[in-house]
C-alpha cells in the first residue's frame, strides 16, 4: 500500500511538472535599439522585436506584458524574475548559455562597422591601435572588439544611439552594431549620408553565436518549448514574413 501511494504521488508530481503551460508571460524588451525596438514619445515601445513578441504571444494564446529594461541590466533582471523571457535581439552564445537558456533563433543579422565616408579600415590590432571604437556595452560586438582589437580605445555605451551621436561629433572613428540597427539608427537618419559601412559582414559563431533567440531562465524549459513551437508556427503561416517586410527588405531569419 505504501509503495502504491508513493507511486501515485510520483505520477501526480510528474504530471504537474510536465503539464505546466504558460498563459501569463512577462517579456523584457529594450526600447533603445531601432528598428528592433524603440521608445515612442508616448512611452510605448515599438519595433521588430515587439511585433514578434506580440505575434508569438497571440500564437500561444498567452497574455503577455512587455517590461522595458536597459540592456546592460537585462539578464540580471531576468534572473531576478522581473520578467520571464527576453526578446531583445540577444545573440545565442556559449558564454550566455552558461547563465541562461534560449529558444531557437528567430533572426540572424550580421554585425558591421560604420565610419565617416572615406575612412580607412583594416581588421588588424596593429591598424586599430589608438583608434576610437564605440560599441554598446555587454553585447557580442563588445566582446568581438575586446578580443580582436585590444590596442584600440574602446568606448562602451548604454545604447547604440549614444554611440552614433559621438560618431557624428567625430569623437569616435568607428561604431560597431548589428547592420540593420546601423542602417535604421544612423544611415537612414538626417546626416546619415556622410557615413558608410566599412569592412565585411561579421557573424563568426565564436563571438556572435547562432542568431538571436528568446532568453529564459534555465529551469523554464517548458516556456522555451512553447516559444519554439510558436516561432515555427508564425514562420509557417506567413505572420513572420509580414512582420519582416514591415521593417526590412532582406531575409532577417538567415540560413
Query: pLDDT digit string (tens) for 177-193?
Result: 999 999 999 999 999 99
Distance (Å, rounded) from C-alpha 169 to C-alpha 233? 45
Is pLDDT of 1 > 90? no
Closest CA to 191 of 166, 162, 168, 173: 168
Residues 21 and 91: their CA atoms lie apart, in Å, by: 26
**Is the confidence at residue 7, as pLDDT, over 70?**
no
Residue of 93, 57, 51, 87 lying closest to 78 (CA atoms): 87
111-208, which class in CATH? alpha beta
> Mean pLDDT across the stretch 216-223?
97
Rounded to whole angstroms, the Cα distance separating 172 from 190 reads 18
Which grid cell sits at 79?
534572473
pLDDT at 15: 45
CATH assignment of 23-108+211-247, among 3.40.630.30, 3.40.190.10, 3.90.1150.10, 3.20.20.410: 3.40.190.10
Q: What does the block give as the cell for 236?
A: 509557417
User: Residues spanned by CATH 3.40.190.10 within the chain?
Assistant: 23-108+211-247, 111-208
The pLDDT value given to residue 13 = 53
Confidence of residue 21 (pLDDT cuts 50, 70, 90): confident
On the question of pLDDT at 2 being above 80, the answer is no
- The Cα–Cα gap between 160 and 36 comes to 12
Amino acid at each position: 500500500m505504501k509503495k502504491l501511494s508513493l507511486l501515485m504521488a510520483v505520477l501526480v508530481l510528474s504530471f504537474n511538472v510536465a503539464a505546466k503551460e504558460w498563459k501569463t508571460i512577462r517579456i523584457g524588451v529594450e526600447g533603445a535599439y531601432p528598428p528592433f525596438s524603440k521608445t515612442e514619445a508616448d512611452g510605448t515601445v515599438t519595433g521588430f522585436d515587439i511585433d514578434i513578441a506580440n505575434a508569438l504571444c497571440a500564437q500561444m494564446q498567452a497574455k503577455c506584458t512587455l517590461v522595458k529594461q536597459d540592456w546592460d541590466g537585462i539578464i540580471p533582471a531576468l534572473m531576478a524574475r522581473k520578467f520571464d523571457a527576453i526578446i531583445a535581439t540577444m545573440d545565442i552564445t556559449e558564454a550566455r548559455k552558461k547563465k541562461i537558456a534560449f529558444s531557437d533563433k528567430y533572426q540572424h543579422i550580421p554585425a558591421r562597422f560604420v565610419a565617416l565616408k572615406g575612412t580607412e579600415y583594416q581588421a588588424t590590432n596593429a591598424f586599430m591601435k589608438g583608434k576610437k571604437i564605440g560599441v554598446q556595452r555587454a553585447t557580442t560586438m563588445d566582446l568581438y572588439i575586446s578580443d580582436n582589437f585590444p590596442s584600440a580605445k574602446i568606448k562602451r555605451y548604454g545604447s547604440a544611439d549614444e554611440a552614433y551621436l559621438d560618431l557624428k561629433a567625430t569623437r569616435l572613428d568607428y561604431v560597431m552594431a548589428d547592420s540593420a540597427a546601423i542602417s535604421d539608427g544612423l544611415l537612414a537618419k538626417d546626416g546619415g549620408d556622410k557615413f558608410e559601412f566599412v569592412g565585411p559582414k561579421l557573424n563568426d559563431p565564436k563571438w556572435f553565436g547562432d542568431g538571436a533567440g528568446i532568453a529564459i531562465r534555465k529551469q523554464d524549459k517548458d516556456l522555451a518549448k512553447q516559444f519554439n513551437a510558436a516561432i515555427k508556427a508564425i514562420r509557417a503561416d506567413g505572420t513572420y514574413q509580414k512582420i519582416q517586410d514591415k521593417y526590412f527588405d532582406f531575409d532577417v531569419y538567415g540560413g
